[in-house]
Structure 1
Amino acid sequence: MGREWTIQQVARAAGTTSRTLRHYGEIGLLPASRTGTNGYRYYDEGSLRRLQRILLLRELGLGLAAIGDVLAARVREEDALAAHLALLEDEAARIARLVRSVRRTLAGPGTGEGFTVEEMFDGFDASRYEEEVVERWGRAAHEDGQRAWRELGEAGRRAHLAEHEAVGAGLAAAAARGDAVEDAAVQELVRRHHAWVSVFWTPDAAAYRALTQGYVDDERFRATYEAFGPGTAGYLRRAADVFAQRALT
């Protein structure tokens, strides 16, 4: 038997999660080379090479179905990349709209010019994360979130964003002061955060813990909270654990 690695070892080395690898296996994208009598999945060198290709194609922006076609040779890699080039060009145009949107926002206060909510959010595309949301939380969670965002309206969207800024700033200040996460004032901030999330989807104790752990583990979301102040993501996670224990169980 050649060299092989456990699912935890592979996930850690590849910078992904065991959950993702199991999902890849369930859809036939990355079968384990064998499953032990203990139920653990093991991967050999061939599996690692296949995972490397999957992650490369994911980095290039191909969806899982398209990657499956490439790996099964139902679609030539050159054709898949050509299709992806068109997607990249669309993404470049979207980024350009984002740049214009931010410039309008920055210019507005100084010039007295107003802007519509459509201009403010031009270029933002929540559907980019559809596959990830569906994988983690289910199709209903994604559709409910999309519907809730549309139904908020212009004033509601502004208020929602402002509430997140206020909660984030409050948590960062509490973390900087060294306030205990059990403090009533901190727990009130966490309650507001849970309510902010619940506009789109109401997480129970386990889901809220998993969500806030994601703020620490996922560099995209960690950067969002660390922008309020160093350590804010981890502080929120610890405070959310207390809140989940007290209020959600």
Structure 2
Amino acid sequence: MSSQIVDNRGNGEAGWSWPAIHPEGRKYGLAVFGLSLVFAFLAWETLAWPLAFLSLGVLAFFRDPVRVTPQGEDNIVAPADGLVTLIEQVPPPAELVSDDGQGGEGLGEEPVTRVSIFMSVFDVHINRSPMAGTIKRVIYVPGKFLNADLDKASEENERQHILVERADGRRVGFTQIAGLVARRIVPFVKPGDTVAAGQRVGLIRFGSRVDVYLPRDTQPRVVLGQKMVAGETVIAEMSQQPLIEGVSQ
């Protein structure tokens, strides 16, 4: 489905289709399937069939479905599919705090609200920009591979920080964090790129987490345990601080 404008008045078209497979995953799926064919040729069916099913799982992991991003300059949308596991006030990461040395401002040192989205291996792992703007920083930090659901994963795991700035200077930072199984963070953007809200900016292989750092005058519109859809779920509105409550049922 090509990009199109749809609205809540019924304009536009919608229909189900098989999601595309991102090129990053095709080589892995085909490699596993090729190995299954080798074992099938050798009559080792006890290995051939599991590998054939595994190749389908690998392709499913790298699926890249079309998303419809709500339009609105103050919307901050979820950068990742998954479950909201943490919402807390924390200082921004050191890599996003200060001036970049070339006149580019960071998020500052005062605590901000961090929303952590945990992605299981069953979630789509394509990450998207939380808002429209210019990519100001893409900073990769090597580290450990702890369980991404742990709070300390934000400081100790392999991660990549991205800072997006709107035309009016408002900034949102987010961090892609590798987990127990995730072993590579793949960026699609670089500093200076202009992105739209919901645009694909990278992926993390095999289970991980994304932290979003909201502006100081902004509170999330999501609650713990809520399921996020990357590029579609509005997690906050710039300069809005509503109290949102949810019922687990």
TM-score (norm 1): 0.25
Larger Rg over CA atoms: 1
Q: Which has the higher strand share?
A: 2
Q: Which has the higher helix share?
A: 1
TM-score (norm 2): 0.25
